Amino acid sequence: MHSDQVVADSPVPVRAGVIGLGAMGAPMAGHLAEAGLLVGVWNRTAERAQRFSAQSGIEVAGSPAELAARCNVILTCVSADADLLEVLQQLPGSIRPGSVVVDTSTVNPATARQAAALFSELGCGFVDAPVSGGVEGAKNGTLSVMAGGDIANISRLMPVLESFASTVTHMGPVGAGQATKAVNQVMVAGIAEAVCEALALAEKLKLPPERLLSVVSAGAAGSWFLDHRGESMLKSRFDVGFKLSLLLKDLKICQQLARELDIPLPVVDAAVVDYGALVAAGEGDNDISGLIRLKRRPADKE
Which residues are bridge partners to 126 per DSSP? 101
Task: Determine contact, residues 244/288, Cβ cutoff 8 Å.
Answer: yes
Same topology, domains 16-172 and 180-295? Answer is no
Q: What is the pTM of this model?
A: 0.93
Task: Determine contact, residues 37/56, Cβ cutoff 8 Å.
Answer: no
Q: Where are the domains of the chain?
A: 16-172, 180-295
Burial 139-173 (b: 16+ CB within 10 A, else e): bebebbbbbbbbbebbbbbbbbbbbbbebbbbbeb
Cα separation of 238 and 62, whole Å?
34
Fold of 16-172: Rossmann fold (3.40.50)
Using DSSP's 3-state secondary structure scheme, residue 284 falls into coil
Catalytic residues: 181
Cα separation of 189 and 65, whole Å?
36
Helix (H) or strand (E) run with residue 111 in it: helix 109-120
Residue-level pLDDT, tens digit, the chain, 302 residues: 444 456 556 567 899 999 999 999 999 999 999 999 999 999 999 999 999 999 999 999 999 999 999 999 999 999 999 999 999 999 999 999 999 999 999 999 999 999 999 999 999 999 999 999 999 999 999 999 999 999 999 999 999 999 999 999 999 999 999 999 999 999 999 999 999 999 999 999 999 999 999 999 999 999 999 999 999 999 999 997 899 999 999 999 999 999 999 999 999 999 999 999 999 999 999 999 999 999 999 876 44
Which residues are bridge partners to 18 per DSSP? 41, 75
Task: Determine contact, residues 101/115, Cβ cutoff 8 Å.
Answer: yes
Task: Determine contact, residues 189/247, Cβ cutoff 8 Å.
Answer: yes
Task: Determine contact, residues 164/140, Cβ cutoff 8 Å.
Answer: no
Q: Top-level CATH class of 180-295?
A: mainly alpha
Report strand pairing: 131-132 vs 73-76.
unpaired
| CA distance from start to end of the chain | 55
Cα separation of 147 and 155, whole Å?
11
